Structure 1
Amino acid sequence: MDAAQVERLRGDLAEFTTDVFGSLTRVGWQDRAGWYVRGLMLDGRRKSIQPMAARLDGVDEQALNHFVTNSPWDVVPVRRRLAQAMDAAVAPVAWAVDDTGLLKSGTASACVARQYTGTAGKVTNCQVAVSLDLVTDTASCPVDWRLFVPEAWDPACPGAFEDVADRRAHAGIGPDVTHRPKWRLALDMIDEVTGWGVTAPLIVADSRYGDTGDFRLGLTERGLSYVVQVTGQISAYPQHTVRTVPPYRGVGIHPRPRYRDPAPCLRDLVTGMGTGAARMVTWRDGSCHRDGTPLPMRSRFVFARVRPAGRTMLRRYRDQDLPEAWLIAEWPAGAAEPAKYWLSNLPARTAKRRLVRWAKLRWRIEHDYREIKTGLGFDHYEGRTWQGWHHHATLVSAAHAFCTLQRLDPKAPAPQ
């Protein structure tokens, strides 16, 4: 970039940080937020405080460390402003919820424990962060975060560490912070961002959330539409299955209508329909090109209307017909059985191409995780406190948002 472009970029960043960090009213806080965001975007293999401060001319490492680790600024107003700004800029077609592992070698960082993470594909020593991202096919941004509290870090849980009280004290974790399943954290974030005046157009998630009936039911009770991936073991009745009344035996209470037979699993439902039920669907242009033309993203899918029938649904709709939902199954040509499954509470009239497009939209959150880790140092934070981690996560989100805004502006120079 030439000098004029560099100057414009600095001006854009200053304007952005003034807006997003406007709630930080103490002297020097907004400046330090700008330093940190800029440091995250500068070239360099390590994005922890010491090497970042060394790359930023005139920045005091101690002041930057104090700002992130110890300064008592509230992340909520910053995230609220970030969510509102990015909602207007990105115009998301969905909110994506997911989690990612932050691998750790020590045991003192807040909420670090041996637990499963898809980042490593196994149980390992890590923190797990749950995020909510605003997504489209071309742009996305994480706007809210939760640090998952394993049972080992909750003194009320039977599997808590023997020294859990000391660990929590050293990490600055308050008594109101307890273990909550990741799907509940996702609902908490959805409620929080909705409370900021941002409207959720659609919720997408992978099977770690979609398999949980309480999560799907929570979305339905909030009036939210969803397309969530599930495993083939989830049970569901075909659409036209009806409840029947068992014969009255002449004694006791008259029986109520109920589903007489156990519900089959999704895998059996779809394979029973046969591969001939699959149809080719193209949902968007891909990133690969041939002779200058983008190659379409396409595959074969089976669609059916079903009534999900897990324990949660049967308990919730005990005296009612189970609600209908879309079942979408991807069945690639030549495969013996479907590769992926989704459930959706979208209306029956929804176009099948749209169903597939939204089912496939969750890839954007993987793109975000890769970008904030490899480019913006999300997993480089070396602090050990609960507050410091949330400060760092918020600042990384701001850096990602600024990069996204620059990419959306065709006249803006690329951040360097």
Structure 2
Amino acid sequence: MSEVVVKELCAVLFPLLSRRGRRLRAEQYLRGLLSATGRKSIRNIAAQVGGPGIEQSLHHFITSSAWPWRPLRAALAGYMENTVAPVAWVVRPLDIPKAGSHSVGVDEHFAPHLGQVYRGQQAQGVWLTSPELSAPVNWRMVVPEPWITDSGRRKQADVPGDLRPESREECAVSAVLQMVQGWDMPARPVLLDMRQGPVLAATSRLSTAGVSFLARVSPSCRLLVADPASPGHRAGALAAQRVANMVTGRRTPVPWHDVVRGTPRTTTATTVPVVLPGGARPRQLSLLAEWADPAGPCSGLWLTNMTSASLFSLLRLSKLEDRTETDFARIGSRAGLRDFAGRSFCGWHRHMTLASIAHTATALSTNG
């Protein structure tokens, strides 16, 4: 771990905390996250930075102290923007299995990438991503309806009064829009997974806010072919997979560099002008279809409102998901992104903010 990186992050971010005691606790918590082995509980963190004598102070700092986490997240994003020059925001789901029923947000959740239901918490993280590294800067928890409508549970977990139930996909879009509308930083193209959710509603919210997006969609996603010269025009709503199959003759070999494995790769891909059916004011979109094996089935389908972008730039953008997945696997657990053991909504957000800073410090230290 680079001490220079840790000191710089502390110097840039923690002056935003108004009290000296809070700045001290923030640095202690960060250093504990970076040095503790195993689960990053407050007890383990305290053991690394001062022993049992400060455990209660750190517990109060995370669960009860009133410091706001959003300014730190915005400052972390600004630091990443200046240091790493990210080219995209990648929205990545976080599934946190958890027993019991007292921690905020715990419920039965479906994890599409696992293909199963689990009990625990579910969140969406927005990662600032470049080909070289990525780090999460914003989080939004999926808070199931019982945690909002049950006044007892809501009070117990300190859930804000203005929070409303959101699906996994709605939560992803809300996390992005919070950054676009409230943070003073340049917006980047957003990558997100819409294979399970209401694609029209999500993409409409993003387009209305002026956000460029590349959204992975399911093969069954219904689309209208908008190009009169393309097969399927005037055929009504067709499944995205069928639209892709109808234009296989237009596939183009696209070279790209696998930034995770460090090897050159080539795939075939094409784009088709489409619109989503059902919208009051249909927006022009492009369907990006990819074939990893030219002789095999379509391996990926995305919708984008970046209709003038080149096929190469869209495909290269889609591969940034691999960078985020790799960085989460090698750093995320070590930084404590799944380890908050408290019960409150605010405590979870404060822990996730500092764990995101720990992830950033580790990523920068190992890529410097």
**TM-score scaled by length of structure 2:** 0.90
Q: Distance in 2 between matches of 1:12 and 1:231?
A: 41
Structure-to-structure mapping, 1:3-42, within 5 angstroms: 9-10=2-3, 12-42=5-35
For residues 171-222 of structure 1, the C-alpha deviation after alignment (integer angstroms, 9 at most, x for no partner) is: 1123222212333333333333233211112111123478611111222222
1:248 aligns with: none
Runs of at least 5 residues in structure 2 that lack an aligned partner in the other structure: none
Q: Distance in 2 between matches of 1:241 and 1:104?
A: 52
CA 1:334–1:304 in 2, change beyond 3 Å: closer, same or farther? closer
**Would the aligned equivalents of 1:228 and 1:359 in 2 still touch at CA under 8 Å?**
no
1:240 corresponds to which of 227, 232, 240:
227
2:289 aligns with: 329
Q: Distance in 1 between matches of 2:91 and 2:196?
A: 8
**Would the aligned equivalents of 2:331 and 2:362 in 1 still touch at CA under 8 Å?**
no
Q: Secondary structure at the match of 1:28?
A: helix
2:358 aligns with: 399
1:344 aligns with: 304
CA 1:146–1:170 in 2, change beyond 3 Å: closer, same or farther? same
Cα deviation, residue 120, structure 1: 4.5
2:91 paired with 1:97: yes
For residues 51-80 of structure 1, the C-alpha deviation after alignment (integer angstroms, 9 at most, x for no partner) is: 221222456111111111111111111112
CA 1:379–1:91 in 2, change beyond 3 Å: closer, same or farther? same
For residues 246-269 of structure 1, the C-alpha deviation after alignment (integer angstroms, 9 at most, x for no partner) is: xxxxxxxxxxxxx97522111112
Cα deviation, residue 371, structure 1: 4.0
2:46 corresponds to which of 53, 67, 77:
53
2:213 aligns with: 226
2:163 aligns with: 177
1:384 corresponds to which of 331, 343, 346:
343
2:240 aligns with: 266
CA 1:124–1:23 in 2, change beyond 3 Å: closer, same or farther? same
Q: Secondary structure at the match of 1:77?
A: helix
Amino acid corresponding to residue 30 of structure 2 in structure 1: V
Cα deviation, residue 50, structure 1: 0.8
Amino acid corresponding to residue 134 of structure 2 in structure 1: S
Structure-to-structure mapping, 1:141-290, within 5 angstroms: 141-155=135-149, 164-194=150-180, 195-208=182-195, 212-241=199-228, 261-274=235-248, 276-288=249-261
Q: Distance in 2 between matches of 1:210 and 1:359?
A: 19
Q: Distance in 1 between matches of 2:201 and 2:266?
A: 32
Cα deviation, residue 305, structure 1: 2.4
2:277 corresponds to which of 306, 310, 314:
310
**Would the aligned equivalents of 2:224 and 2:237 in 1 still touch at CA under 8 Å?**
yes
1:361 aligns with: 320
Amino acid corresponding to residue 281 of structure 1 in structure 2: V
Q: Secondary structure at the match of 2:29?
A: helix
Q: Distance in 2 between matches of 1:353 and 1:210?
A: 27
Q: Secondary structure at the match of 1:296?
A: strand
**Would the aligned equivalents of 1:226 and 1:345 in 2 still touch at CA under 8 Å?**
yes
**TM-score scaled by length of structure 1:** 0.80
Q: Secondary structure at the match of 1:401?
A: helix
Cα deviation, residue 125, structure 1: 0.6
Q: Distance in 2 between matches of 1:364 and 1:209?
A: 22
1:161 aligns with: none
Aligned residues: 363
RMSD, aligned α-carbons = 2.4
Q: Secondary structure at the match of 2:207?
A: helix
**Would the aligned equivalents of 1:210 and 1:216 in 2 still touch at CA under 8 Å?**
no
Q: Distance in 1 between matches of 2:210 and 2:66?
A: 36
Q: Distance in 2 between matches of 1:369 and 1:209?
A: 22
Cα deviation, residue 12, structure 1: 4.4
Q: Secondary structure at the match of 2:110?
A: strand
CA 1:177–1:325 in 2, change beyond 3 Å: closer, same or farther? closer
The percentage of counterpart residues that share the same residue type is 29
**Would the aligned equivalents of 2:131 and 2:259 in 1 still touch at CA under 8 Å?**
no
Larger Rg over CA atoms: 1
Runs of at least 5 residues in structure 1 that lack an aligned partner in the other structure: 1-5, 156-163, 243-258, 289-293, 410-416
Q: Secondary structure at the match of 2:341?
A: coil
Cα deviation, residue 41, structure 1: 1.1
**Would the aligned equivalents of 1:96 and 1:205 in 2 still touch at CA under 8 Å?**
yes
Q: Distance in 2 between matches of 1:154 and 1:60?
A: 33
